[in-house]
Structure 1
């Protein structure tokens, strides 16, 4: 018995002494880069460099990131994607949700303990800025991972889409884009470059961490003539599962074990293929299929992958819903609380294309939601104080929450939940010959009385793709008090408002969270209030008369096509009237030989048309509480 106690004490002491503090000092500023060799542009760098540094810690470490915003003209923040932030949701990073935006010249310290393992990433979560380069991998090493003895070395591989224009220069939310068509990237990168190689030895097993750090496009991934074993998705270890092709949406991560061939005769293409179903327009010069190499022999040929120009319709990837977690966590019991929302794309009165969950397009409050929790005492359990347009849901501690996400849109949406992973218990349409095929006919919503059997050990991850015109159902336990976003991780869709806010155990948040004074100082510097309800009212928390509101709905009867026709008809009409006015006001020129008049110089007038467009979004099922 004494020996057992001694061993336990030594084990505990060893685990405590092994943990350390890992500190990064980030000066965020502009640098220039040309990752695809096609266009040099300004990108967001750190400490004068781009690509950005990979953050690496061990499980149990304390991570401290001292960030200074040296951009000069832009706000910023950092979201540590996939970090649960237990008792530290104030370190989660989304502006106006858990913190104020960090203005130029301000500093902000992120400080939290990493009690989890696996493959993650970090990115800006302010003003939709991470397509400008502000994103990179975050790796949490685990000395106790069950597959540690199965590999010799590891690689981290990021894939991403790339734009040559600044986000702010892309006309997306605009009268000129009433259908909400997403901007098509200019190229696709692997490890922030193209035509690169991973140097490997023969007959050796490698752990390869794959992360899609893009803003929009999902990509297929495979290595010619190789298979591999999936051992992790989004920080959750899985039973080792053989596969040869993956579909990786933005924000998703996989870890795979790959054993090389016992030969150095040739090199093999690492192939990434953009999912062209997501793209409205594909220009002839856009390279959807890209080749990098698994390099066995630097002197051997580096051949391009042989495939059609657009092979995405022919690729059959592994179905992630079938993966079994290594811990064999069982299906959670029937939910205590259910959230039922539907994705709808539509237009509002200004003519812009927006995204909705039910009839709400997320609109940021005047006070960050977490700070409303911290300053509202017992009223924190009242969802109304968080505003009508943050789409708030107050969760009770330790409730089993079921979230039903229906899709009335013809596009897919990778939804991410902050602060949690979740069990994926159902998805339609079922896996078919092409990943996430469109459902024929009308959208199919989840029917609680008619569905396939839920798995005994559901796959878990923090980002899962909602299929076109289908649905998915997830469950998680509300055991992490904090303010958490649930949103589509296509950055353009987040800009359109495809998000909602979960306020989990708000009275527990007040007891457990400590907001550093520096964070409130950042608010003051940015001119953002940090007490009161969503309208910044500190006297009557139920008075939301000054809250930020979404744009008013359209009158009934308009369609997106109608908006386009009306906008350009109005523009043409205004231009025509301008020409007539200029012509009428021009003085005639008199000739000695004959009397003639000629119009004056042409003048164009760019007047914005009165916006109108498609059908007003309809209410879908609201959140319901069960017992």
Structure 2
């Protein structure tokens, strides 16, 4: 009788759960929409169904999502969609074919084609977002918030607000990319945005009522810059990061790098304050190689208690070190640190030029180059060979994990830039996170090696946390290191990459193949998947080089360009480019003088070239 009662209770609970779960269906067609996000410069943005911004999506825990994405681009561009932070766990009946990165878990969607993203959110809750995962399309607006509501949140509030922090480039993503990945940018200087955006606009207003408590869900959905958020005369109480509840942590300054989410409670004034307050959005200018004089590094937004009160004045943040440190946040459930690891992977991050003169990003001297077929295709069609990393191609930094292994990832940064690293399909524990060791000045690779502080397992810089922070995107500081751990308990093909999209474009990525035989048992390539690949002329069977007759034959595998000739450096390219420009200007001056009999004013050109040469220590 007891067993029957328990069984009856379980069945009732299960049926009630099914009855309460909803399926949310969306039909989105991509296309260019004329907009003016910052009110300064009109441009084309990527919208859905002729509208931009694209909609935020709100679901409840346990719900199912169906998104039919049709490529409506008329310029021939392919696309794909990624739900950032989703696990797509096969135990929930999901398929890894829903994860989204092109040539990793699916083929690119060509114009006129439709791909269905269909998955259950399972037990995941909190703040997420969705965005294009082809090229840098989401920088042009193909991004939106994805919120999973939870009836059992361990905190209370009266109202929530979702806030996307991003930046704006006035040129389309493909033009910015072409100008970035060229031998005429041999130092790899990242493109400088023209503006900051706050919920896809400028100078926003949030309405507060006295006595209320607000949950502010911040998402950095930008391509590049990390951002600070400061609140005049109010405090933030952090309660969630990247979909993970944390012990409440109070601060007056938040820091979000691209891909990260932070949810914080804000208590409004109990009584009418008879004024409005400033919410400051501040660009992390340390990440910029150059700060143009016209670039506004901070924007002031209004927290309005009454429209009749005057606009708030901006205020200065004197110490950015006061921002909440993600390393010291503790999960609400106090999850303990994994005692040890079974597999340790060490990635040394470097940025350098290859033989075509372009600056690339490297894990252990390998820059990611996508294979001829998606890695998922290789897993699901390779049979007994799926456990052998050789079939995935050494051009993607592949690693194969077995079920239940504890994986430790060590990142040593031999670069003076910041890198936010994101892992698909998992949250990870932050085991170590060093400060930055960047020094001002231009340093050779050998000097960068001297500056960088590597992770020393026998003498770590900080005590190992007993109950570490848990999230899916973490910041690696300049010339420092970070150490992460996660458990291989989610079979899949998981992309691990820098979420500064320019760095991903440069090749800063790896692919983790987790429990491939479990994937083979649980997944087959859907007809939709195969149709999308066939339309793009991509095989639906084969290794990374497209071979299935010999799984270890890598003939034709796409690879990174050859190395630079010995002794030829980025400065050599700068000197070459500038010398060419000087020569062309000289020819122009001679021709112009001969035709007009007016001597052109070369001083400004000379001064500009001299400045660039001096900044790069190039003799002239």
TM over 0.5: yes
Match of 1:179 in 2: 187
Match of 2:226 among 211, 218, 225: 218
Q: Which moved more, 1:422-431 or 1:383-392?
A: 422-431
Q: Residues 297-312 of structure 1 correspond to what in structure 2 (within 5 A)?
A: 297-307=306-316
- Check conservation: 2:136, 2:223, Cα contact below 8 A: no
Deviation at 1:13, TM superposition (A): 2.5
Q: How far is 1:555 from its partner?
A: 2.2
Structure 1 vs Structure 2 CA RMSD: 2.3
Shift of 1:560: 1.9
Out of 70, 73, 86, the position equivalent to 1:83 is 86
Q: What is the aligned partner in structure 2 of residue 161 from structure 1?
A: 167
The Cα of 1:57 is off from its aligned counterpart by: 0.9
Matches within 5 A, 1:315-330: 316-330=322-336
**CA pair 312-370 structure 1, distance change in 2 beyond 3 A:** farther
Alpha carbons 1:199, 1:294 under 8 Å: kept: yes
Aligned length: 577
1:386 is aligned, of 368, 382, 392, to 392
The DSSP-based 3-state class of the residue aligned with 1:255 is strand
Partner of 1:16: 18
Tell me the distance in 2 between the aligned counterparts of 1:215 and 1:251: 9
For 2:430, which of 412, 424, 432 is the aligned residue? 424
Q: Are 2:149 and 1:146 equivalent residues in the alignment?
A: no
The verdict on how the C-alpha distance between 1:232 and 1:431 changes in structure 2, with shifts beyond 3 A counting, is farther
Alignment gaps of 5+ in structure 1: 433-438, 584-597, 602-627
Equivalent position of 2:112 in the other structure: 105
- Provide the residue aligned with 2:360 in structure 1: 354
Shift of the 286–529 alpha-carbon distance from structure 1 to 2, 3 Å rule, reads same
Q: Is the 8 A contact 1:319 1:431 kept in 2?
A: no
Q: CA deviation at 1:206?
A: 1.1
TM (normalized to structure 2)?
A: 0.89
Once the two structures are TM-superposed, the CA of residue 228 in structure 1 deviates from its matched residue by: 2.1
The structure richer in helix per residue is 2
Which residue, out of 529, 552, 557, partners 1:547? 557
Q: Identify which range, 233-242 or 522-531, moves more after superposition.
A: 522-531
Cα shift at 1:563: 1.8
**Cα contact 2:254–2:324 (8 A) shared by 1:** yes
Taking the aligned partners of 1:273 and 1:403, their CA distance within structure 2 comes to 31
CA–CA distance in 2 between the matches of 1:314 and 1:154?
A: 26
Give deviations 1:75-122, integer Å, cap 9, x for gaps: 111000000111222100000000000001100000011011010001
Question: Are 1:296 and 2:298 counterparts?
Answer: no
Kept in 1, the 8 Å contact 2:437–2:453? The answer is no
Query: CA separation in 2, counterparts of 1:555 and 1:342?
Result: 22
Task: Within 5 Å, give how 1:240-255 maps onto structure 2.
Answer: 240-255=248-263
CA deviation string 1:374-432 (max 9, x = no partner): 11111111101111111100111110000001100001100000000000011112899
Please show how residues 119-130 of structure 1 align to structure 2 within 5 Å: 119-130=127-138
* 1:370 counterpart (372, 376, 388): 376
The 10-residue stretch of structure 1 (559-568 or 171-180) with the greater mean CA deviation from structure 2: 559-568
Q: TM-score, structure 1 length as denominator?
A: 0.88
The gaps in structure 2 that reach 5 residues or longer are: 439-447, 598-620
2:280 paired residue number: 271
Q: Partners of 1:315 and 1:428 in 2: how far apart?
A: 14
Query: After TM superposition, where is structure 1 displaced by more than 6 Å over at least 4 residues in a row?
Result: 574-580, 598-601
Q: Is the 8 A contact 1:174 1:351 kept in 2?
A: yes
Partner of 1:592: none
1:284 correspondence with 2:302: no
Q: Deviations over 1:141-188 (max 9, x none)?
A: 1111211xx111111011101110011112000111000000000000
Query: Is 2:520 the counterpart of 1:517?
Result: no
2:74 maps to which residue? 72
| Aligned residue among 331, 338, 349 for 2:337 | 331
Work out whether residues 276 and 312 of structure 1, in 8 Å CA contact, stay in contact via their aligned partners in 2.
no
Q: Report the equivalent of 2:615.
A: none
User: Is 1:256 paired with 2:259?
Assistant: no
Matched residues in 2 for 1:576 and 1:268: separation?
56
Which of 15, 33, 36 aligns to 2:38? It is 36
Please name the residue that 1:594 is paired with.
none
Contact 1:275–1:312, Cα closer than 8 Å, also in 2: no
Report the Cα distance in structure 2 between the residues aligned to 1:473 and 1:184, rounded to whole angstroms.
29
Deviation at 1:4, TM superposition (A): 5.8
Displacement of 1:127 in angstroms is 1.9
Match of residue 47 from structure 1: 49
Per-residue displacement from partner, 1:264-313 (whole Å, max 9, x unpaired)? 31111111100000011111221111111111111111123123xxx586
How many Å apart are 1:578 and its aligned residue? 10
Give the deviation of 1:314 after TM superposition: 4.5
- Equivalence map 1:529-544=2 (5 Å): 529-544=539-554
Distance 1:576 1:396 in 2: 63
Query: 1:441, CA displacement in angstroms?
Result: 5.9
